[in-house]
Chains A and B, each alone.
Chain A
Amino acid sequence: DSGVTQTPKHLITATGQRVTLRCSPRSGDLSVYWYQQSLDQGLQFLIQYYNGEERAKGNILERFSAQQFPDLHSELNLSSLELGDSALYFCASSGKRGGSDTQYFGPGTRLTVL
C-alpha cells in the first residue's frame, strides 16, 4: 500500500460527458502528479501540482484540468469525453518540489468511455 488513494476505482461513462477523478496523496507529501496509461500511448505525464500550485505540465489536453486543494488532495477533471480518453489514470505523490525522489503511485482509476 503506497498511501496514495484514488477514487473511484472504475468509471464508465458516455462520450461528451464530464468526470472528476480524486486523489489523496501520502501524508506529508506536497506534490501530486497525474498520469494517463493507455495501450497505445503508454504512461504519459499529464500535470503536477505542488502545495496547491501548478508546477509542471505534460501532455494534458485542453479538455482536461486539475487542481490541488488546501488539504493537498487533488482532482482531475475530464470533459467532453471521447472514446480515446478511455485509459487508466494514476495519481502519484512525492515530498519534494524539485523531485529527484521517489513518486508513490495510487491504484488508479480505470475510465471507460462508451
Chain B
Amino acid sequence: QQPVQSPQAVILREGEDAVINCSSSKALYSVHWYRQKHGEAPVFLMILLKGGEQKGHEKISASFNEKKQQSSLYLTASQLSYSGTYFCGTRRGANNLFFGTGTRLTVIP
C-alpha cells in the first residue's frame, strides 16, 4: 500500500526547478505532502483531494490526478531552504496515511 516516489534523490542549483512524483497502485482519496529536514520533524506542506485540483504554497505547488492515481510536487526557482526530504502520504478512504520512501532534495548555491 506504500506509494512510490521518484526520483529518490535530486540535486539542484539555486533557482532551478524540480518535480517530485508520487504514484499508487490503489485508488486514492487524498494525497499529503510533507518536508523533513535532517533530524527534524516532518512539516506539512499541503493536501490535495479528489478532483484533480492543484494547490500552491509560495513557489511550491502540487497536482493530483486521481485517474492516474498519482500526484506531482513542483518546486520552482528553488531556494537553499527547500533542501530536505519530501514525503508523499496517500490515503484511501478513512484509513491512515501510507507514506512513500521519500525524495531527498539538495539545493546548492
Real binding pair: no
* Residue positions of B touching A, CB distance < 8 A: none
Interface residues of A (CB under 8 A from B): none
